[in-house]
Chains A and B, each alone.
Chain A
Amino acid sequence: MRLLQCVVLLLVAITAPGVVLSRDPKCQVVTLSFYGLICALMFFIFQAPDVALSQITIGAVMLPLMILLTLTKMRRQNLRREQEKKRR
């Protein structure tokens, strides 16, 4: 059990800088989702299954989704602005 806890803490320590160091927002969404999953695994191993379930649904699914949707929205807004500029 101790070993498992150490391994998962190490994984969290590795993936967290991974999220920060990925520069492209789209890549960051994927790394963030992965980090969320690892966090959920950590909660599970530390015997908090309720928190782990919330973390999977929010940290690994909903948060990346919201960021992705916002990025899409921004990209489309920029595209539209460019199109309007061309028209003028």
Chain B
Amino acid sequence: MSSRQRTTLFLIAVAGLAPLFAWGFRNLPPMGDYRGPYGYAVTQVAVYERHATDVVNAINYDYRGFDTLGEEFILFASILGVLLLFRPSGDDHKGKKQAQVEDALPVSDTLRVGMQAMAGTMVIFGLYIAAHGQLTPGGGFQGGVILATVPLVVYLSGDVKTFEAIVSNPLTKLAECGGAGGYAIIGALAMLGGAHFLTNFLPLGQTGDLFSSGTIAVISVTVGVEVTGGFLVLMRSYLREIIEERLQGEE
């Protein structure tokens, strides 16, 4: 399809969609207008009932914890899918030696020093975000992603060996499985005491303390572990060939 035909098709589609769009906008409620009673109720009782000052995470990991469990396994399943797609095939191994592709770039001193300085800061920041999910915005998911980007910063600083050591560590796989399973196990532990699945059974503690809000904090950290492990496994599967070639080149 030529560029001209595509533009024509686009314009026809726009001509059809634009009136519908305008029509749909006509009766839109004003900004900030919220009619569901549930949201107001939860924001009123969350701090009192769960001792968590970040109501968003109180909802995510407690009030609708079962949905979040499902979301967690969506991430888990999609990472498994990528791993399955990128599994090393027989052809790859045959052609490895002859198919060396040169794309190693020399790393400048500025980049190396800057990235090395950043790595430590990012670890602390990621841990902070993951551990304080019940108190401030953030939580396990965001903290986990931040932690997972740290090895990439190491990679950017030109230290391929350290990067390989981090991402190929069997602990990454353990973290992914353990984190995903841990969520379900915490939920099931509540059932041992006769309560419903994912009931907040731990002591709630003092509002505003790091160790407060019961299972919310624990689940948040568990999710952080899963996300970190998952993304590290993902990165390894993407970069495996490049890393192997680079390490061969260094030897």
Which A residues are within 8 Å of any B CB, using their own CB? 49-50, 52-54, 57-58, 61-62, 65-66, 69-70, 72-73, 76, 79-80, 83-84, 87
- Known contacts A62-B231, A76-B101; is A57 also within 8 Å of B95 by CB? no
List 14 contacting pairs A-B, 8 Å CB cutoff, sorted by A. Answer: A49-B137, A50-B54, A50-B57, A52-B137, A53-B138, A53-B142, A54-B141, A57-B142, A61-B149, A69-B235, A70-B238, A72-B242, A76-B101, A80-B95
Which residues in window 43-79 of B have CB below 8 A to A?
54, 56-57
A54 / chain B contacts, CB cutoff of 8 Å: 141-142
Contact A80 B99, CB 8 Å, known A50-B54, A61-B145: yes
Residues of A within 8 A of B86 (CB): 73
Q: How large is the interface on B (under 10, 10 to 19, 20 to 34, 35 or more residues)?
A: 20 to 34
Select B129's contact among A53, A65, A87, beta carbons within 8 Å.
A53
| Bound Cα distance A62, B138 (Å) | 16
Partner pick for B137 among A50, A62, A69, A79, CB 8 A cutoff: A50
B214 at the interface (CB under 8 A from A): no
> Is B229 an interface position by the 8 A CB rule?
no
| B244 within 8 Å of A (CB atoms) | no
Closest CB-CB distance, B153 to chain A, in whole Å?
A: 11
Given contacts A50-B57, A61-B145, A62-B145, contact A84 B139 (CB under 8 A): no
B-chain residues with CB within 8 Å of residue A58 when the two chains form the complex: 145
Other than the given A50-B57, A69-B238, 13 more pairs (CB < 8 A) read: A50-B138, A52-B137, A53-B137, A57-B141, A57-B142, A58-B145, A65-B149, A72-B238, A76-B242, A79-B101, A80-B95, A83-B98, A83-B101
Residues of B within 8 A of A66 (CB): 234, 238
Chain B residue numbers with a CB within 8 Å of A73 are 86, 238
A30 to chain B, nearest CB (A): 16
Interface check B221, CB cutoff 8 A: no
For A53, the closest partner residue in chain B by CB is B142
CB distance from B67 to the nearest CB of A (A): 15
Interface pair B238/A80, CB less than 8 Å apart: no
